[in-house]
Amino acid sequence: MSTSNPPAGGSVREIFDTMSYGPAPEGDAVVRAWLAGHGSAFGHYIGGAFTSPTAGESVSVHDPATGARLARVAQGSAHDVAAAVAAARAALPGWQALDDHARARWLYAMARGIQKHARHFAVLESIDNGKPIRETRDIDIPLVARHFSYHAGWAQLLSAEFPGQHAYGVVGQVIPWNFPLLMLAWKVAPALAAGNTVVLKPAEYTPLTALRFAELVHEIGLPPGVFNLVTGDGRTGAAIVEHPDVDKIAFTGSTEVGRAIRVATAGSGKGLSLELGGKSPFIVFEDADLDSVVEGVVDAIWFNQGQVCCAGSRLLVQEGVSDQLIGKLRDRMERLRIGSPLDKAIDMGAIVSPVQLERIRQLCALGIEEGATCWQPSWAMPADGSFHPPTLFTDVAPSATIAQVEIFGPVLVSMTFRTPEEAVALANNTPFGLAASVWSENINLALDIAPKLKCGVVWINSTNLFDAAAGFGGYRESGFGREGGREGLGEYLKPVRAHEPAPSPVAPAPVHPAGQGHELDHEDRTSAALPAIDRTPKLFIGGKQVRSDSGYSRPIQGAAGRVVGEVGDGNRKDLRNAVEAAHAGAGWSKLSGHQRSQILFYIAENLSARATEFAERIAAMTGAAPPEAVSEVEASISRLFTYGAWADKHDGAIHDVPLRGVALAMHEPIGVVGVACPDPYPLLGLVSLVAPLLATGNRVIAVPSERFPLSATDFYSVLETSDVPAGAVNIVTGSRDPLAIVLAQHDDVDAVWYVGSQAGAAAVERASAANLKRTWTEWDGREWLDPRCGEGREFLRRSVHVKNIWIPYGE
């Protein structure tokens, strides 16, 4: 047998043992030539044309790996934003006049354009953002094309699958720097598919692939004004948010900025979706395959240098395997490679900017100062550019800053747990709720843990899986709304009202002379041989009638000006008690859909038995004609039947994602929801808002009609006889707007629905920004009697979170 010389540098076995890699640079000549062809200077893209790159202020864009300047882009002013919004508004009628197939063709053309220029986009993204070319080439750009192709399909099916809904109009979108082109696709594709026009602002650090995309849509001939791009810093984003002719804002970025946007848009009527920060747990049980776990951790926290909102930055390990796993992790970290993003043989690239690098360093120093143990690999990093080594913290307290604050860098903090219950408690011990990863060979355990995690995405024995078909988004301070999937497209649509709102008129409350407003008239006083037995309705909290903490009652005057009853005047402490009762009533959320359905039917049955009484009460309070009052009661009974029917039918879905497994989209109740009800239709308005929340497993604190609350206080006597568990429904009467604001401010209230005045809606939305709870506010009225306006999927969609659980299977 002949022998040959061993390869240079040692034998084949030695090469495989050492696994040493030489440089494998990706060519960037084409992209550099493209930049030079533009003079490394870019203007905005407005109304189908690029503006002059030399006009006005500019922003410099740098290569994170070297610090060298790549280009200058225009700093968008309020005037530039106004021009872009005007162009989008002008293009809107023509874009919406196209049929579904025509819009689908445009989106498909974008997908094909991305595919044809895939390598150009990948290289440009790497040098602009600092992430490895392997990630942009193999993950980001294919997913961008996938999103446009997927949403071309939704554009084709829009009228058939979303009847009765239409686009918001002009959508303002602000995206971050960690996935510049992919975030563009996540937002632009569904917005255009739904029939909106777009004004988009990329991040000031990473605008180049968005500018190349603007060139692409120009090349394919997209109608002018359908897509507009304005570059710049935070001032440009603020101008988009504040522009009065923008109908919806979609933002991905920091929680702090998201909170400011919530305040800025309060009361404007603009749609809003926020995808914000995270501090995602990576939970490892003792039966997990630890070698797979190690590779999962690499993907969870060192992918894109940890600059991922859903990065698995908190490693929670069961005590019995903690030391073993930490040892394996350190060994793997020693073998990670860091260097030029265009080197195909590296694992980690550069941090996006010196500012971000300094923030990471400061938080690491704080972690050491607070007592945690820091470990980093022994190898040296590149001398130039913004690089940070993979970092592991152990001995971390759950309350430590590095365990609570989003670092947004390649920093992993590790903690231990003993039981599954403790794992869930640690996982949920942050204000965020974006994603989580669960590792166990026991699928029963993993699927038991997943629904208990307060987050929008759960990966089982996997991490950082994304697809256009599966929605992505969070709970709590990670924002609200979803991107991707059917639920993501729904964020860019709103219902078409069947006709102009026509709520029943509510006459102003009559004014009585001082000292006389609470008295019955003279005839009533003199004709009664004995005083009436007082029946002042109380509040309804925790399944019981309780007196208001205030000690005051509110007189309720009927249409003729007579006092027809009194109710308790609820206050902040009453709401606090109601919130505690609602949390204690969490068992309602654990009932099956069938059980909730039966109780809703039972409520309807008991209301029907007292229909005449309720109709008379409505007529006495509101002055409605008897047939109108009867119609309101019958509509309320029908509405309870509607949601009794939906309770066991509002199912989730199995998303068809490119995975050897499934992505389960599970509908979860929001939790504790505050509801402020309208004055028109005092019974039907209450039932229409409370019933869908009950059907989907939420617990409710309702503030009924301020003018006409007696229908609600009568209604809780129906609840008492209908097997409704304590705490599932709580009713606090009083002044609607002050009580609604308290609910919006309460950290243990998960969402607020408000129907009232525009000023009240604005106050509720501003108050909700503290913990970024979901709100649904209206002030223009509905025809609640009409089922097309007063019930249906719109209410059900707003009653749930969609949690996507990724479940791989197979050997």
Annotated catalytic residue within 135, 309, 668, 677: 309
3-state secondary structure of 84: helix
Strands 457-460, 800-808: pairing kind: parallel
One-letter amino acid of 5: N
Q: Is 806 exposed, middle or buried (0-12, 13-18, 19+ CB in 10 A)?
A: buried
Concatenated DSSP letters for 268-334? S--EEEEE-----EEEE-TTS-HHHHHHHHHHHHSGGGG--TT---EEEEEHHHHHHHHHHHHHHHT
Most distant CA pair in the chain, distance:
126
Q: Which of 204, 275, 477, 491 is catalytic?
A: 275
749 neighbors 739 (Cβ within 8 angstroms): no
Q: Is 275 a catalytic residue?
A: yes
Catalytic status, residue 677:
no
Q: Is the dihedral of CA 523, 526, 529, 532 positive or negative?
A: positive
Q: What is the rounded CA–CA span in Å between residue 541 and residue 36?
A: 69
Q: In the structure encoding, which two tokens stand for residue 647, read together?
A: 């309770």
Burial label, 315 (beta-carbon count in 10 A; 0-12, 13-18, 19+): buried
Render 676-702 in DSSP notation, one character per residue.
E--SSSHHHHHHHHHHHHHHTT-EEEE
Closest by CA position to 140, among listed 209, 63, 201, 73? 209
For residue 636, give the nearest of 651, 648, 618, 620 by alpha carbon. 618
Question: Coil, strand or helix: which one is 807?
Answer: strand
Q: CA–CA distance from 747 to each of 579, 671, 696, 771 (Å)?
A: 10, 12, 21, 6
Residue 552: Cβ within 10 Å count: 12
Task: Compute the distance between CA of residue 804 and CA of residue 464 in angstroms, rounded to an integer.
Answer: 12
Q: Distance of CA 456 to CAs 481, 666, 808, Å?
A: 10, 10, 18
Q: Which two tokens stand for residue 631?
A: 């119609």
Burial class (CB in 10 A: 0-12, 13-18, 19+), 105: middle
CA distance 256 to 704: 33
Query: Whose CA is closest to 171, among 44, 43, 273?
Result: 273
Active site residues: 275, 309
